[in-house]
Structure 1
Amino acid sequence: MGNKIDLIKIRRDLHRIPELGFREFKTQQYLLGVIQNLSTERVEIKTWRTGIIVKIHGHNPTKTIGYRADIDGLPIIEETGLDFLSEHPTEMHACGHDFHMTIALGVLANIIESPLKDDVVFIFQPAEEGPGGAEPMLQSQELKEWMPDMILALHVAPEYPVGTIAIKTGLLFANTSELFIDLKGKGGHAAYPHLTNDMVVAACSLVSQLQSVVSRNIDPLDSAVVTIGKITGGTVQNVIAENARLEGTMRTLSSEAMEKVKNRVQSLVKGIEIGYDCECTIDFGSGYYQVYNNEPLTREFMDFVEQETEATIFECKEAMTGEDFGYMLRDIPGFMFWLGVDSPYGLHHSKLDPKEDAIQLAVNALTAYLMTKGN
């Protein structure tokens, strides 16, 4: 299976042209070229912004099965030293979306060659890394016309060996939200602090207070994370900072906990405004809904993989990672799983180098599953 196209070449071609969310113009054209070369009278193709939706008509359909692959890259300078290094110096497929697209194309090629009884829709979705393509794509007329009855997707996992599919029923990935806080006080000469309102001091105090949100406001049996990843403020060493900015992320294992975290952050920021006589604004930016795997479909898939494929199932724990595929699973029954790719460097690392052996294994397993599920 999967030999109709050169999967390794495709992966390396895609790895060379990573593009950020809703700017995947080269990627879209490359994917369209491969898909159009495979097309038959049973295949229909639509585009949505920089994404692609492909429908393979079944010969006697009673349902539509969806498969989603995300297509964007990250603003990371690649340091892998690979012969097929990114040609875009400040962008990289550091989250494995080059693998995701290649696997989807391999499965698509197999289904085109051996059409199922049921319809299959392949969704090549832009902007997973930001600002989020799944939710607006779900609302698009293009996808509404071909809305799947069930849907599945995968994500590469550097920590698992090739041959492993890690999955669990229920919650797999967390609810996420960005966090941006701007503080504005009164700047001035470093020698006269009593005439100013120092926003570096205020920002440092706020960072410390934010660390109490999880430890003192979230049930110890629940889980949440508040991380401040970036602080900016001030201009030069001898001027007291008039402005400061905190940038971070929040993650929880329940939507209720996310609301508690947001409410507590707002309360702490109001306290900073009073205590440091400053003005603050909060922007929660974009956030992703939890990835929640449908139990019957997930169990069915796990049993199939164990009995009918070369892959090994590992029942993993939930993770604090975020994925906008959660919006699709909110509206459509389905599941996502981790695919082992055995790299010493993790997701979003400039040296991530997944093992390409995982590509064919995933194509074979998914093709076999869809052949069974759609016939």
Structure 2
Amino acid sequence: MTVLYNTDDFIKIRRDLHLIPEPGFQEVKTQAYILNYLKGLSADFMEVKTWKTGVLVRFQGTAPEKTIGYRTDMDGLPMVEETGLAFASQHEGMMHACGHDLHMSIALGVLTYFSTNQPKDNLLFVFQPAEEGPGGAQPMLESEEFRGWMPDRMIGLHIAPEWPAGTIATKPGLLFANTSELFINLKGKSGHAAFPHQANDMVVAASHMVTQLHTIVSRNVSPLDSAVVTVGKISGGTKQNIIAENARLEGTIRTLSIESMNEVKARIEGITRGIEESFNCETSIDYGANYCQVFNDEQLTEDFIAFVNGLDYVEFQRCDKAMTGEDFGYFLESIPGFMFWLGVGSEYGLHHSKLNPSEEAIGKAIHLLIDYLKREAL
């Protein structure tokens, strides 16, 4: 395999970025790190813009007929890291537990190559904030900065802990599901634990609600369809001997179609009205960020698959669709393109406090993308 870059440089970048995970639209240190790195590249055909905490990098082609966009996400997750790594997060309660540190280091590796190898067609590298929430893709897509450099196709990757390091997996058509956040607040009446009949206990109401929410998929969604309703967090009350006046449920909804998403939400709203009546309480629902499905362009994806199958340094697997959520889908609504999985061979999965991706995948992904973009843009 021809050496096109120094892999160790981008492993170091990955580790540097792993130290500083930040919430969506607060990626200030991350943006500064990327901008500082870009200052070290001396290409007179390279332009850089910022949008909020994101970064756009454009390489002007020598005889451009199209613009190819490549997107990476930037933000971390609000969780305590338990990897024990020497380069573990320095930001308390934040972790790069979804691989965005790898995503960024790979993007920097690819654009570094093209900073000394001017493409024929334009290339646009998109460092997008807030993928984990509240959602950066849609507002970035609509921004003046992005629209001024609108690409003709978009590409993105996401790490996959379950695949061996360097494995490439994707499929034409539907790859990731429609997703929606879910926040439900309940308000009752507090009181002394010794006099429950004088209060409206929202811990009990929330418990009933969780049980009913988890009947939606099994009893309201067709067995031939797919949907997920998960409540990942419950909070309520203030002290063990005070009946809880307030409770809050936080969760997520995943469906393979917009129609199913609307049906699931309608059922959630019906259950909530029933809880209000049953427990004499007030409720409110917030669906937070909604992400559309990731739908890969059929022809571009099949062409990419054929290309990957012709390489001797990565393995290809045709995967099935997943209930994963990704706001990259907003780019693909407007721009033809595709997303693919990059295997990283970790014992622990995405959003796990011990996720430890194999750094071997970084070099393989950089090489793959350089080779693919050389074919497409040189």
* TM-score normalised over the length of structure 1: 0.97
2:107 corresponds in structure 1 to 104
Checking the alignment, whether the CA contact within 8 Å between 2:7 and 2:363 is kept in structure 1 is: no
2:92 corresponds in structure 1 to 89
Distance change (3 Å), C-alpha of 1:190 and 1:78: closer
1:75 corresponds in structure 2 to 78
Distance change (3 Å), C-alpha of 1:39 and 1:256: farther
Within a 5 Å distance, the mapping from 1:80-229 to structure 2 comes to 80-229=83-232
2:231 is paired with a residue whose SS is strand
Please state how far the C-alpha of 1:4 moved relative to its aligned partner: 9.1
1:74 is paired with a residue whose SS is coil
**Corresponding letter in the other structure for 1:231:** I
Checking the alignment, whether the CA contact within 8 Å between 1:159 and 1:346 is kept in structure 2 is: yes
For residues 102-155 of structure 1, give each alpha carbon's deviation from its aligned partner in whole angstroms, at most 9, with x where no partner exists. Answer: 100111011222122110000011111111111110011000000110000101
Choose which of 281, 289, 294 in structure 1 pairs with 2:292.
289
**Corresponding letter in the other structure for 2:224:** L
Distance change (3 Å), C-alpha of 1:174 and 1:353: same
1:347 corresponds in structure 2 to 350
Partners in 1 of 2:241 and 2:85 — Cα distance? 45
Partners in 1 of 2:56 and 2:255 — Cα distance? 31
Distance change (3 Å), C-alpha of 1:16 and 1:236: closer
Q: In terms of mean alpha carbon deviation, does 15-24 or 361-370 score higher?
A: 15-24
Calculate percent identity across the aligned residue pairs.
Answer: 61
Note the residue ranges of structure 2 that are not aligned, 5 or more in a row. Answer: none
Partners in 1 of 2:56 and 2:347 — Cα distance? 34
Q: In terms of mean alpha carbon deviation, does 36-45 or 82-91 score higher?
A: 82-91
Aligned length: 375
1:236 corresponds in structure 2 to 239
**Corresponding letter in the other structure for 1:371:** K
1:248 corresponds in structure 2 to 251
For residues 25-70 of structure 1, give each alpha carbon's deviation from its aligned partner in whole angstroms, at most 9, with x where no partner exists. Answer: 1111111122221131110110111111010011100110000011
Partners in 1 of 2:79 and 2:271 — Cα distance? 33
2:319 corresponds in structure 1 to 316
CA RMSD, 1 decimal: 1.4
Post-superposition, which runs of at least 4 consecutive aligned residues in structure 1 deviate over 4 A?
none
Checking the alignment, whether the CA contact within 8 Å between 1:298 and 1:335 is kept in structure 2 is: yes
Choose which of 307, 312, 326 in structure 2 pairs with 1:304.
307
Checking the alignment, whether the CA contact within 8 Å between 1:171 and 1:290 is kept in structure 2 is: yes
Partners in 2 of 1:244 and 1:19 — Cα distance? 27
Checking the alignment, whether the CA contact within 8 Å between 1:99 and 1:359 is kept in structure 2 is: yes
1:258 corresponds in structure 2 to 261
Q: Say if 2:12 is the partner of 1:14.
A: no
1:308 is paired with a residue whose SS is coil
Distance change (3 Å), C-alpha of 1:244 and 1:89: closer
For residues 210-261 of structure 1, give each alpha carbon's deviation from its aligned partner in whole angstroms, at most 9, with x where no partner exists. Answer: 1111112211111001111122222333332222211111111111111101
Checking the alignment, whether the CA contact within 8 Å between 1:5 and 1:109 is kept in structure 2 is: no
Distance change (3 Å), C-alpha of 1:137 and 1:155: same
Partners in 1 of 2:107 and 2:150 — Cα distance? 18
Partners in 1 of 2:284 and 2:334 — Cα distance? 33
Partners in 2 of 1:217 and 1:33 — Cα distance? 52
Please state how far the C-alpha of 1:309 moved relative to its aligned partner: 4.8
Checking the alignment, whether the CA contact within 8 Å between 1:5 and 1:106 is kept in structure 2 is: no
2:281 corresponds in structure 1 to 278
**Corresponding letter in the other structure for 1:270:** R
2:112 is paired with a residue whose SS is helix
Q: In terms of mean alpha carbon deviation, does 164-173 or 193-202 score higher?
A: 193-202
Partners in 2 of 1:36 and 1:5 — Cα distance? 20
